[in-house]
Structure 1
Amino acid sequence: MSILDVHHVSHAFGDKVVLRDLSFRLLKGEHIGLVGANGAGKSTLFQILSGKLVPDEGEITWHPKARIGTLDQHIQLSQGKTILEFLQGAFHDLFDTENEMMILTEKMRTSTEDLEQLLHHYSQLQAKLDRHDFYRIPAKIEEVAAGLGITQLGLDTDVSKLSGGQRTKLLLAKLLLQQPDVLLLDEPTNYLDVSHIDWLTLYLTDYPNAFILITHNTTFMNHVVQIIYHLEHKKVTKYTGNYEQFLEAYDLRRRQIHLEYQKQQEEITKLETYIRKNKARASTAKQAKSREKKLHKIKRIEKPTMNPKPTFSFSVTNQPDNIVFQAESLDIGYDQPLFSNVNLQLRRGDKIALIGHNGIGKTTTLKTLLGEIPELNGCISIGDCVIPAFFEQEMGVAAKHTALEEVWGNYPNLTQKQVRQTLARCGLKTEHIFQSLASLSGGEQTKVRLCKLMLAKSNILILDEPTNHLDVETKNALKKALQDYTGTLLLVSHEATFYQDWVTNVWNMEKWQ
């Protein structure tokens, strides 16, 4: 049964066409992966499916009874509500039913109304609770909260005190507890540890309803989807199978399209040459006219084009002292220490991966070493000539000015040509650099920030989850650049496959406790 029908949907932002004539169906229980390069239009399509955007052309038809669940990052988390209370909100209608039963119980005890009618209503309500497994709600909440690493935050913690990553995990947990008919999941693994991704993998593999998934974690996608929708050149193509099977089929299809394009171009050239030579001759004008009609009827195959390949490089202004950072008897935290008596030494040329479960304090540690957060106790000494450049995990609200203005405003001494060339090296096209940052995809915004990092005068890179939102090709380009980097590096990343074969050491914060 079809839950969703997409008919000839097109959408543009100004002059930039993002989606063109998209049509597909979502069937009950289908597990779909939506793939494509950064900026291909995946998030735009999600916004259209969820009703946040109205397409310029075409229509979206949902089954009238379908319940759709999306990760809404802008929902307000009110102060005074605990994590447990927020998660219980996934079952608010069942708790309302339980309250109605309690009121009925009191009525049956004191009221003079028809007892048989009250009992019938009570039994209907009880049947509803039994049907929805109401009495297992505490166990369900406990399972999902533990699986996503929320339990360790404390279920009595006020939701207003959660960080951006913790907040995202909480919204995901509530969404999974609601079990809608269709899940629209945009990068659900961004703030999850390896163990939590493993749990989510098992959960989604057995998920009884349909979902459409956007993720650049291809290993995760490979295990949970059965169908791939590939967004490329503003159109969507369906492939049956998981991500690995898609890659094989896509490579074959790309070569076939290239051969078909070349063959069609040869035919077009042949027809145009004949028409040009014979149109003016009386003896061949009829044949030329016939070929001209044939030429006009040809449905042109769009020339296969490759997205620009990003190439990153990070220069070292001048090398610092041998000891870059040294921390002694350091207490790290805000009001209360997360860690006490920490001793660290970062030497010139070190490439360190800082790891630990989400919420343990990785970002807090980075900001403490940089002096953005004062240490609670102990001391941090910084070597001479140390010039850090910091890539923060959480971006502020995307601005209305363009990508070109963002970079040029930070480096006004450069020419426009130099700025544009650097943006192009990061894989951004001309159409991207003149768009507002707010209209760019998450991956494109990350590329703009990496462009600024490339231009920064520094000799130590502090990177907090730089691979979030990046497609596979961009991630690989960034990995190579960091491998080739001759400076010092301190990296926070939840993707072991990104760093494990080139860092010089791993600092596991879970062993600090």
Structure 2
Amino acid sequence: MLRLEHIRKIYPTGEVLKDVNWEVKAGERVGLVGVNGAGKSTQMKIIMGEIEATDGEIIRPADLRIAHLTQEFDVVPTRTVREEMWTVFVEANAAQEEINEIQHKMAEPDADLDDLIHKLDRAQRKFEGLDGYRLESNIEKILPEVGFEIEDGDRLVSSFSGGWQMRISLGKILLQDPDILLLDEPTNHLDLETIEWLENYLRGLTTPMVIISHDREFLDRLCTKIVETERGVSTTYLGNYSQYLLQKEENKNAQQSAFERQQKEIAKQQEFVEKFRASATRSTQAKSREKQLEKIERVEAVVSDVRTLKFKFPPAPRGGEEVATITDLTHSYNDKILFLGANLQIERGDRIAFLGPNGCGKSTLLRFITGNEQPEDGSAKFGTHNIIPGYFEQNQAEALDLNKTVMDTIHDEVPDWENREVRTLLGQFLFSGDTVFKKVESLSGGEKARLALAKMLLVPANFLILDEPTNHLDIPAKEMLERSLKEYDGTMAIVSHDRYFISQVANKIVEVRDGELIVYNGDYHYYLEKIEQEKAAEKARLKAEQDAKKKAAKKAKNEAKKANKKKAATR
């Protein structure tokens, strides 16, 4: 259906893609993985025709329809949902506008009705030829499919959250009936509930897909094939993300074993050549083996993985048992109540992940705990005995001084350090060479996240407060952060939409629900089990209620019949 053959891409700054070869067939869901800067988005752009490859070719049918769902949802807030859906039908839209314009002119006092009637007839024929009247029914069908009520079609796009705006974008794409769907970081900025909905929805489609995502759980549940790009070269692995990791490790081990065996054999043959090169009786054999050594196809040693973060959080200073206390917390935003008498005790050793839909107040709660914001009523405060917080803000642009250089950002925090020490720390976070002199304002989202993490290491803390710490980090960087947090011996409060990350680092889940903080004393998998049990119990309760109502209605009906019979008998 679509194949990339020997794709190469060179920018003025250097070669990004060297030799990329992979394909997507009917029914496949391909995950593109690799570190930030590996060229994943470049491959998407080449497929879309937005940029040209330096070399190689894309093999595809001429009439192949490709649709692209980006992480910045392409919607206009002032349109209604139905109007936004209509925008995908460009030609039909133009024909409809022409019809509307002609009809408007026909209402004018001095209108040339004969001429306008002919124009209206032509415009309506054109609209019918574009199947315009069926398109409206297509929109009516797609609305409930992506989760909307029919009446939602008349609401403004701006009245919906980011997650629902993603559904509008997805609906627009599906209306185009694409042959291949390209998804570029589709889960960014979505809450867990919406991510799970998107996952399940996409699994139900038969449309082939190419997916770029740093969400390992998303890749695991969706992908049937993984294409890794490393050092400009692609490698294809069959299966989902977990299977790719296993295959990659097996391939590395097999390659290293083959390399070591070959090196041992080469050394043995070279020893023979050196020993008998000058021998009167065996020099011919020695020369023959030397020629064989020259022709042998060498197995390459396993190249160490691409450079990624290497760091540890400093040991946590000893603090009190009570790390933070939230008491009778009440707070609203505009007309929305976020917290209504919420309570929570955070104790030493807790590694809490706060869950809940976007806008429920998770980040606000962290700001209350740090004292960066004050609640309307109640309190959120640190414990009294030696609690030293370290705070990672969600929006790094606000947390870092944009006018400073990378070097100065660290140096100003530790003025006693020598340049060599600062460079060593920055090197662990992949800032090397002249990149340490870049202004913070010119850094990418991932670079800002790495710099903020580096800054956190400068002061030992015993209570890490992390608001979306994995945003903008690639998968290897996320894995390093997970390892560091697992080794960290302090307390943590985390807000994250990365399910895999949560499952790796949290030992307690707190869900923000209906203004309360619901505590689950276990990890993420324990939380999922409990949620399923709660849903099952609620389902059983509703069924019991319905059965009781039916039983009561039946009883009332029977009693009414008896009463009517009795009444009839006494007449």
TM-score bin, normalised by smaller chain? 0.7 to 0.9
How far the C-alpha of 1:510 sits from its partner, in A, is 1.5
- Does the C-alpha gap of structure 1 residues 68 and 373 become closer, same or farther in structure 2, counting only changes over 3 Å? farther
Alpha-carbon deviation of 1:246?
3.3
1:9 deviation in Å? 0.7
- Other structure's SS at 1:239 match: strand
Q: CA RMSD in A?
A: 4.8
Aligned partner of 1:5 in structure 2 is 4
Tell me if 1:454 matches 2:454.
no
Partner SS for 1:455: coil
| 439-448 vs 364-373, which moves further | 439-448
Distance 1:222 1:273 in 2: 49
The residue number in structure 2 matching 1:246 is: 244
Which has the higher relative contact order, 1 or 2, with Cα contacts under 8 A spaced 6 or more apart? Answer: 1
Q: State the one-letter code of the partner of 1:243.
A: Y
* Structure 2 partner of 1:35: 33
- Stretch deviating more after TM superposition (103-112 or 218-227): 103-112
1:221 correspondence with 2:219: yes
Matched with 1:344 is 343
* Equivalences, count: 503
User: 1-side partners of 2:432 and 2:277: how far apart?
Assistant: 41
Give 1:231 shift: 2.0
Does the residue aligned with 1:509 lie in a helix, a strand or coil?
strand
CA separation of 1:335 and 1:223: change in aligned 2, threshold 3 A: closer
Match of 1:490 among 489, 493, 501: 493
Match of 1:136 in 2: 138
- Relative to structure 1, is the Cα distance of residues 452 and 52 closer, same or farther in structure 2, using a 3 angstrom cutoff? farther
SS of aligned partner of 1:354? strand
Match in the other structure for 1:387 = 388
Closer, same or farther: CA 49–430 of 1 in aligned 2, 3 Å:
farther
Give the stretch that moved more between structures: 42-51 or 383-392: 42-51
Matches within 5 A, 1:101-500: 101-102=99-100, 111-113=113-115, 119=121, 122-129=124-131, 133-144=135-146, 146=148, 155-156=155-156, 158=158, 175=173, 180-266=178-264, 300-307=298-305, 312-315=311-314, 318-336=317-335, 338-349=337-348, 350-384=350-384, 385-396=386-397, 407-408=410-411, 410-422=413-425, 428=430, 446-470=449-473, 474-499=477-502
Q: CA offsets, 1:371-410, max 9 Å, x none?
A: 3334334444444444322222344399799866654555
TM-score (norm 1): 0.75
Supply the distance in 2 between the matched residues of 1:288 and 1:242 (Cα, whole angstroms).
50
Q: 1:3–1:28: 8 Å Cα contact kept in structure 2?
A: no
Q: Which amino acid aligns with 2:34?
A: G
> Structure 1: how far apart are the matches of 2:168 and 2:413?
35
> Cα–Cα, structure 1 residues 338 and 236, in superposed 2: closer, same or farther, change >3 Å?
same
Instruction: Determine the C-alpha separation between the residues in 2 that align with 1:51 and 1:274.
Output: 57
Whole-angstrom distance in 1 between the partners of 2:327 and 2:422: 41
One of 12, 20, 27 as aligned partner of 2:18 = 20
Q: Please say if residues 179 and 207 of structure 2, whose CA atoms lie closer than 8 Å, have aligned partners that are also in contact.
A: yes
Measure, in 1, the Cα distance between the counterparts of 2:232 and 2:514.
48
State the alpha-carbon separation in 1 of the partners of residues 355 and 434 from structure 2: 33
Instruction: Indicate the SS of the match to 1:315.
Output: coil
306-315 or 400-409: which moved more? 400-409
- Could you say if the C-alpha distance between residues 435 and 46 of structure 1 is closer, same or farther in structure 2, counting changes exceeding 3 Å? farther
Over 3 Å counting, the alpha-carbon distance change for 1:232 and 1:340 in structure 2 is closer
Q: 1:279 to 1:74 in 2, by over 3 A?
A: farther
Q: Is the 8 A contact 1:141 1:177 kept in 2?
A: no
**CA-to-aligned-CA distance 1:7-56 (integer Å, 9 cap, x gap):** 341446846x5432223344566421112355544344445545666655
Q: Is the 8 A contact 1:325 1:381 kept in 2?
A: yes
Shifted more, 328-337 versus 206-215: the winner is: 328-337
The one-letter code matched in structure 1 to 2:389 is: P
**Is the Cα contact below 8 Å between 2:396 and 2:452 reproduced in 1?**
no
Q: 1:169 to 1:353 in 2, by over 3 A?
A: farther
Please say which of residues 25-34 and 288-297 is displaced more in the overlay: 288-297
Q: Which amino acid aligns with 1:140?
A: I
State the Cα distance separating 1:334 from its structure 2 match.
4.6
- Per the alignment, residue 554 of structure 2 pairs with none
The alpha carbon displacement at 1:447 in A equals 4.2
Corresponding residue of 2:563 = none
Question: For residues 14 and 87 of structure 1, do their structure 2 counterparts lie closer, same or farther at Cα, with a shift above 3 Å needed?
Answer: same
TM-aligned CA deviation for residue 492 of structure 1: 1.0
Structure 1 unpaired stretches of 5+ = none
**Secondary structure, counterpart of 2:130 in structure 1:** helix
What is the rounded CA distance, in whole Å, between the counterparts of 1:131 and 1:417 in structure 2?
Answer: 70
* 1:486, distance to aligned residue in structure 2 (A): 3.0
Q: Is contact 2:360–2:512 with CA below 8 Å preserved after alignment?
A: yes
SS at match of 1:396: helix
**Distance in 2, Cα, partners of 1:497 & 1:376:** 34
Quote the offset at 1:213 in angstroms.
0.8
Q: For 2:424 and 2:67, how far apart are their aligned partners in 1?
A: 41
Q: 2:511 aligns with which of 495, 508, 512?
A: 508
Q: Which amino acid aligns with 2:343?
A: L
Identity of matched residues, %: 30
User: What's the secondary structure of 1:19's corresponding residue?
Assistant: strand
Letter paired with 1:454? L
Q: Specify the structure having the higher radius of gyration (Cα).
A: 2
Change (3 A) 1:379 1:245: closer
Q: CA 1:157–1:12 in 2, change beyond 3 Å: closer, same or farther?
A: closer
Q: Aligned equivalents of 1:18 and 1:179: distance in 2?
A: 32
